[in-house]
Amino acid sequence: MSSSVLSRVAEQVYWIGRYLERTDATARLINVNGNLLMDLPVRMPLGWRPLIDITGSGALFDELYGPGADASEHNVCRFLGTDLRNPGSILNSIAGVRENARTVRGTMPRITFEYVNDLALFARSALTPGQSRRNRAQALDGISRRAQQLEGFLSQNMLHDAHWDILRIGNYLERADMTTRIIDVRSADLIAGDHALEPFQDIQWRSVLRSFYAMQAYHASVREPVEPALVLEFLFKDPRLPRSYLRCLNGAARSLQELPRNERAAETCTRAIAALQATDVRALGDPEARTELHAFIDRCQIRLRDLHDTIMATYFD
Partner 1 sequence: MGITFTVYDGQANVDREWPFDIVPRLILKDEWDEIARGLKQRVKALNAFIDDVYRHRRALRDGVVPEDYVLRSREYRSRCAGVTPPQGIWCHVCGSDLVRDDDGTLYVLEDNLRVPSGVSYMLENRAVMKRVFPELFEHYGIHPVDDYPARLAACLRSLAPSGTRTPRIVVLTPGIHNSAYFEHAYLAQEMAADLVEGSDLTVADDDCVYMKTIEGLVRVDVIYRRIDDLFLDPEVFREDSVLGVPRLMRAWQAGNVALANAPGCGVADDKVIYTYVPDMIRYYLGEEPILRNVPSYRCVEKEARDYVLDNLPDLVVKPANESGGYGMLIGPHSTRKERDAFVRAIRAQPRNYIAQPMLKLSTAPTLTGSSAEPRHLDLRPFVLSGKDIYVTTGGLTRVALRKGSTVVNSSQGGGSKDTWVIEGQ
Contacts with partner 1, residue ranges (CB under 8 A): 1, 3-8, 10, 98, 102-103, 105-106, 117, 121, 162, 166, 259-261, 314-315
Q: How far is the CB of 313 from partner 1 (least distance, A)?
A: 12
Q: How far is the CB of 4 from partner 1 (least distance, A)?
A: 4
Q: How far is the CB of 146 from partner 1 (least distance, A)?
A: 16
Residue with smaller CB distance to partner 1, 162 or 253 = 162
**How far is the C-alpha of 248 from the C-alpha of 120, rounded, in Å?**
26
CB atoms within 10 A of CB 212: 24
Q: How far is the CB of 3 from partner 1 (least distance, A)?
A: 7
CB-based contacts of 195, cutoff 8 Å, min separation 6: none
Beta strands in 160-236 (DSSP E): none
**How far is the C-alpha of 136 from the C-alpha of 31, rounded, in Å?**
8
Question: Interhelix angle for 290-311 vs 162-190, to 10°?
Answer: 160
Q: How far is the CB of 315 from partner 1 (least distance, A)?
A: 4
Characterize 81-119 residue by residue with b for buried, 16 or more Cβ atoms within 10 angstroms of its Cβ, and e for exposed: bbbeebebbbbbbbbbbbebbeebeebbeeebeebbeeb
Residue with smaller CB distance to partner 1, 231 or 252 = 252
Sign of CA dihedral 69, 72, 73, 78: negative
Q: Which amino acid is at 299?
A: R
Residue with smaller CB distance to partner 1, 223 or 261 = 261
Residue with smaller CB distance to partner 1, 43 or 261 = 261
Q: How far is the CB of 10 from partner 1 (least distance, A)?
A: 5
Residue with smaller CB distance to partner 1, 101 or 231 = 101
Residue with smaller CB distance to partner 1, 7 or 128 = 7
